[in-house]
Structure 1
Amino acid sequence: MDIISIINKLLPILPVALITAFFIIGISFVSYVFYKKRGGKLKVTITQFVSIFLLLGWFVVVMVLTTFSRGEMFEGLVNFRLFSDYVNTWHQWSLSELQLIIFNMLMFAPLGFLLPLLSKKLRHFGIVLGVSIFVTLGIEFIQMVTHRGIFELNDILHNVLGSVAGYLLMSAILDCVTRRKIIVKSVLKALYIPMFFVLLFSCALIVYHTKELGNLSIRPAVPQNMKQVDVKLKIDLPTDTESVSLYRNKQIHNLKYGKEIAARMEKSFNLQQKGRMRIEGFNRIWTYIDKDGKEFTFTYSLQRGGWGLYHEGDNNDPMKPDRLEKYGQYYGKKLVSTDVLPPDAVFSTQDENTLRWDIEQNMTDIIHGDSDFTEGFIMLIPSQKHQIPLDLDYDMNENKYVRKVDIISPAQAYKDILKGNFAIYNDLVDGDQLDINEYELDYIYDSKGYYQPVYRFKGLLNGEAWEVLIPAIQ
């Protein structure tokens, strides 16, 4: 989930949070008035009332965002792997993952910011820290027992840091207001946490841009515990290293390319952009309308370099082969004219309503080649009502030869499996039986578009098909 998705989820919640807060504050105010009439001596200021109102609204929003907006799908999972979020963000090189880290801190900043306004006792750092830990622990526990989230140390850390940052900011404001001048020491304290993360992320950017190759998402944030797994190797693995080819695809993680293709589709099909570009994970999304007001969505994937243009709502009936052929000729010329269809792509039809162009390459030629190559496919579902296709899916990869690189042997890669240095969706558990039956050299794209060699090991995990990727360049 990225920041746009969070905001979209947040907007419908705000009215509910405000109404709930108003309701509770209303009851509290009536109770307070009644209390004062009965001779109560406790005084509540306007500032305290407003702070309570904001804190209640904040709490409702946080509970909905973190717990009640989710389905019961997590089965009480826990993650005690501190800093694994940062490792995962680095391997993925994902803006969405980074946004989640920042959002988890910003989400709790109001707690530390508002607590000092409730009472002078709550202006002590230790008390604010304790309250922050208690609240975030409570939320994580509720997520775990309701199966609506994962109990994560990383979330607790970021929530508490966010609350402390809010507290330091309010402390600086109160110091400056009380003394009627800017207190440099307090202001600097308020900047400690923001500046630390600015420095941390800046260093990560510098390191990333100074190294040649990008990051591989197949690297694990935390290794698997292999002591509890029975691993059996049922094939012989070569111990010799070799040199293989390295390629690069400049369409990947290249927003400029995505914008250029979006502009080409807009011009080619006479579309008009509606709104601004949206971000959803690794996808960049544009919405267009045609002259009749129909909406079309263009999606560019940073991670794979592919893109698609589609329209929801219309279905296409099966067509005769000769009619599909005519559509193929028409759209083929159009795609060639927009410089997205390679002239050597092989045309075919499928499912009686889909056009397809393919370029296939032999893996042996890729491994030992020394020239550029293109592989992949383009699929298009034509519309029988207008010239704009119902669905256009571009997954054609243009790979430029870079150089030869030395890779580790299959036997060395297998050692990474024994060490648990691989990423899988569900962690291995005590008593698992893993049989390695075969391997092959394959390629995947890294975060800079380099087509890196990897070993693909296949086998059976407790009798079911299993495979894992191990980086070959180490």
Structure 2
Amino acid sequence: MRIQELIGIAREYFMLVMVAIVFLGIVFVFGYFIVYKKLFKGKKRIRPQQLLIGGLLVGYVVMVIGVTFLNRGGSYPGRIDLTLFSSYKEAWYRFGVRHWQFVILNIVMFVPFGFLLPLWQKRFRRATFTIGAALLFTLSIETFQLLTGYGMFEADDLFNNLLGAVIGYGMVMGLLTVKSKGVKKLLIYFSPLLATCMAFGVIFTCYHFKEFGNLAIVPVHKADMRQAAISLEVKLNDKEIVMPVYNAPSYTNAEADNFVKRFFENLDLDTTNMEIIDYPEVGIYWLRSDRSHNIWFDYLDGSYQYTDFSSHDEGKEPIDTDEETLKENLTAFGIVIPGEAEFRKLDVGTYEWVMNMRETGDQLVNGSLTAVFYNDQTIKSIENHLVTYEKVRDVQMKSEKDAYNEVLVGGFLQAMDDRQIENVKIDHVETGYYLDSKGFYQPIYVFHGAVNGMERTIDIPGI
């Protein structure tokens, strides 16, 4: 989740927060001044600081409710994950900014809870009170998400929320007691924050020093193979083999910006007012005018999708043409199609060139390019996933039998409805490639066949 998205959520629920504070303020004024002071002759005074902290707590709780319920749809009916650290495993295997942000934000989200409660009421300066309240709050959220389908019931969310509350509690108690109990006690209170920062530091440092990235095909949860019937219709090799690892042409934000500018300038388009929206893995580029243009650019491998929105104009429609006309039009975009690419028609006016693992020297070309040709003799849509990879070095792979043993223990990604594997049929196996989180094209084993009667492939890391 980007900072812009967090600011957007805060703006979206700001009025709801203010309404809740005003409503509860009216209830408090009536209950305190009319009922407590007038009717029951109460003498206890409430400090202005307590009112301020109480208002902040109300606003915080409403914001949390907005993020956890109102900001998502009910698309997770009955889903429970009681495996601790599964979100950390998923973030590690995919190692995308967005996955780590979700983990970290689940911790940060409860820091204000642990910080504000001891300031609001002195009884919450006892750790058991604050941690107990945090446990009750996060457990209520997870249970409500489970019952309504507005989220999963996850053990990781409970852990991360409690960790955030403990960090917040430690921070405020350290600040409140530093004068009376000294720096040593301050360090003890701040130890949850320091330990958490060190843990994430170790994770990111280990990843940084890995030669290759992580593969998203590694499952967080293994498939349940206890009742599975396995049908193997191919003879597997028990010899380890050597395969090359390739590197994708990854781009920095600045390099992607320059590529897109050149792309638009090839079409004689003015990029002075080009709008750029940066996400961790993708850049979105807009030229907005009477004839808008858009590019989604993937930083990891340089693939992109281009759209000329004049395709929606009245009278514009795809028409058929020949390959030479398409290639001539693509040269205007700075695109040259390799001569070995397989050409085929997908639909009216829609054509595709495919390169299937074509090795040339120390390069590997793989992927496809799709173009849509319109009746004004122009191409208005391009999906270019035709990527040229550069060889890094040869690596030793596990054998087919070793990879098959991982299938037997459920070490592969399964579909959501494949919670219980009843049967697996494998009719052949081949080597393939998968792009890892650092932009390396790693060799994998691809088992072809069926799972629970449905045709599918099973990918197993090769290294």
Q: Residues 352 and 191 (structure 1 numbering): CA distance in 2 closer, same or farther, change over 3 Å?
A: same
Pick which of 8-17 and 124-133 moved more.
Answer: 8-17
TM-score, normalising length: structure 2: 0.88
* Paired residues of 1:2 and 1:97 also in contact (CA < 8 A): no
Where does residue 17 of structure 1 map in the other structure? Answer: 17
Where does residue 257 of structure 2 map in the other structure? Answer: 259
Where does residue 452 of structure 1 map in the other structure? Answer: 442
Alpha-carbon distance in structure 2 between the residues aligned to 1:276 and 1:370: 37
- Residue 450 of structure 1 deviates from its aligned partner by 1.8
Alpha-carbon distance in structure 2 between the residues aligned to 1:393 and 1:427: 31
Q: Residues 417 and 46 (structure 1 numbering): CA distance in 2 closer, same or farther, change over 3 Å?
A: same
- Residue 86 of structure 1 deviates from its aligned partner by 1.4
- Residue 17 of structure 1 deviates from its aligned partner by 2.1
Q: Could you say what secondary structure the match of 1:227 adopts?
A: coil
Pick which of 148-157 and 186-195 moved more.
Answer: 186-195
* Paired residues of 2:229 and 2:422 also in contact (CA < 8 A): yes
5 Å-filtered alignment, 1:56-95, equals: 56-95=58-97
- Residue 352 of structure 1 deviates from its aligned partner by 4.0
Please give the per-residue CA displacement for 1:340-369, whole angstroms capped at 9, x wherever unaligned. Answer: 53564757776444465x3524x5x64xx7
* Paired residues of 2:223 and 2:419 also in contact (CA < 8 A): no
Q: Do residues 286 (structure 1) and 285 (structure 2) align? A: yes
* Paired residues of 2:300 and 2:438 also in contact (CA < 8 A): no
Q: Do residues 371 (structure 1) and 362 (structure 2) align? A: yes
In structure 2, what residue type is equivalent to 1:373? Answer: L
* Paired residues of 1:224 and 1:427 also in contact (CA < 8 A): no
* Paired residues of 1:328 and 1:355 also in contact (CA < 8 A): no
Alpha-carbon distance in structure 2 between the residues aligned to 1:434 and 1:51: 58
Where does residue 168 of structure 2 map in the other structure? Answer: 166
5 Å-filtered alignment, 1:17-166, equals: 17-34=17-34, 35-38=36-39, 39-166=41-168
Alpha-carbon distance in structure 1 between the residues aligned to 2:377 and 2:198: 53
Please give the per-residue CA displacement for 1:212-258, whole angstroms capped at 9, x wherever unaligned. Answer: 2211111122323322433332332222222223222123x654542
Where does residue 414 of structure 2 map in the other structure? Answer: 424
TM-score, normalising length: structure 1: 0.86
Selected match of 1:332 from 330, 333, 357: 330
Alpha-carbon distance in structure 2 between the residues aligned to 1:82 and 1:90: 14
* Paired residues of 1:272 and 1:289 also in contact (CA < 8 A): no
- Residue 259 of structure 1 deviates from its aligned partner by 3.0
* Paired residues of 1:10 and 1:65 also in contact (CA < 8 A): no
* Paired residues of 1:266 and 1:273 also in contact (CA < 8 A): no
5 Å-filtered alignment, 1:295-444, equals: 295-312=292-309, 314-315=311-312, 317-318=316-317, 321=320, 328-329=327-328, 331-336=329-334, 340-342=335-337, 344=339, 351-354=347-350, 356=352, 358-361=353-356, 363=357, 366=359, 370-381=361-372, 390-426=380-416, 428-430=418-420, 432-444=422-434
Please give the per-residue CA displacement for 1:66-110, whole angstroms capped at 9, x wherever unaligned. Answer: 123322221211111111111211111111011111111111111
Where does residue 272 of structure 1 map in the other structure? Answer: 272
Pick which of 55-64 and 233-242 moved more.
Answer: 233-242
Q: Could you say what secondary structure the match of 2:441 adopts?
A: strand
* Paired residues of 2:245 and 2:395 also in contact (CA < 8 A): yes
Alpha-carbon distance in structure 2 between the residues aligned to 1:349 and 1:409: 38
* Paired residues of 1:3 and 1:100 also in contact (CA < 8 A): no
- Residue 301 of structure 1 deviates from its aligned partner by 2.0
Q: Could you say what secondary structure the match of 2:175 adopts?
A: helix
Alpha-carbon distance in structure 2 between the residues aligned to 1:12 and 1:168: 31
Q: Could you say what secondary structure the match of 2:386 adopts?
A: strand
> What is the aligned residue count?
456
Where does residue 244 of structure 1 map in the other structure? Answer: 243
* Paired residues of 1:74 and 1:147 also in contact (CA < 8 A): yes
Alpha-carbon distance in structure 2 between the residues aligned to 1:428 and 1:144: 20
- Residue 146 of structure 1 deviates from its aligned partner by 1.0
- Residue 127 of structure 1 deviates from its aligned partner by 0.8
Alpha-carbon distance in structure 1 between the residues aligned to 2:351 and 2:238: 45
In structure 1, what residue type is equivalent to 2:303? Answer: G
- Residue 19 of structure 1 deviates from its aligned partner by 1.2
In structure 2, what residue type is equivalent to 1:341? Answer: V
Q: Residues 102 and 79 (structure 1 numbering): CA distance in 2 closer, same or farther, change over 3 Å?
A: same
In structure 2, what residue type is equivalent to 1:210? Answer: F
Unaligned runs of 5+ in 2: none
In structure 2, what residue type is equivalent to 1:258? Answer: A
- Residue 426 of structure 1 deviates from its aligned partner by 2.3
Q: Could you say what secondary structure the match of 1:238 adopts?
A: coil
- Residue 386 of structure 1 deviates from its aligned partner by 11
In structure 1, what residue type is equivalent to 2:88? Answer: Y
5 Å-filtered alignment, 1:455-466, equals: 455-466=445-456
Percent of pairs identical after alignment? 25
* Paired residues of 2:423 and 2:452 also in contact (CA < 8 A): yes
Where does residue 219 of structure 1 map in the other structure? Answer: 218
Please give the per-residue CA displacement for 1:151-201, whole angstroms capped at 9, x wherever unaligned. Answer: 11111111111111112222233235xx4x894335434543333233223
RMSD: 3.0
Please give the per-residue CA displacement for 1:387-428, whole angstroms capped at 9, x wherever unaligned. Answer: 8x6433221201112333222222111100112222224274
* Paired residues of 1:433 and 1:461 also in contact (CA < 8 A): yes
Q: Could you say what secondary structure the match of 1:335 adopts?
A: coil
* Paired residues of 2:309 and 2:380 also in contact (CA < 8 A): yes
In structure 2, what residue type is equivalent to 1:37? Answer: K
Pick which of 418-427 and 98-107 moved more.
Answer: 418-427
* Paired residues of 1:416 and 1:470 also in contact (CA < 8 A): yes
Alpha-carbon distance in structure 1 between the residues aligned to 2:252 and 2:276: 18
Q: Residues 311 and 4 (structure 1 numbering): CA distance in 2 closer, same or farther, change over 3 Å?
A: farther
